[in-house]
Amino acid sequence: MSGIAVCVVYALPDRQVIKEVMLPAGATVADALTASGLAREFPDIDLTRNRVGIFGRLAGADTQVQPGDQVEIYRPLQADPREARRRRARGKARSKTGT
């Protein structure tokens, strides 16, 4: 059977899991996620909550994958990045003023 090989990646704080899957031509991101079995292996993955992408760009479940694509499952953010930067900047400003 000819097909296309793609990787499905899920990064945890302490490790990264990569599964290579073979899919038929015309397969989608959803097909790759199902074939990888990562949602069964990691119950905290909730594909209604977790965003997915291909090489760092958000993608929908119905997006067709291409040979060599890296499908990524993103974990929800723990903090808003903009707010975290503001807090760091306030902390640096305080340390410079000595307060």
Domains and CATH numbers, the chain: 4-97 (3.10.20.30)
DSSP string covering 23-40: E-TT-BHHHHHHHHTHHH
Give the model's pLDDT for residue 97: 66
Give the model's pLDDT for residue 28: 96
Residue 70's pLDDT band (boundaries 50, 70, 90)? very high
| 20-32 pLDDT, tens digit each | 999 999 999 999 9
| 79-98 pLDDT, tens digit each | 666 776 777 787 777 676 66
Give the three-state DSSP class for 81: helix
Q: Indicate whether 53 pLDDT > 90.
A: yes
Q: Tokens in use for 28?
A: 């989608």
Give the three-state DSSP class for 64: strand
User: Can you tell me the distance from the alpha carbon of 22 to that of 40, in angstroms, rounded to the nearest whole number?
Assistant: 18
The average pLDDT across 64-88 equals 82
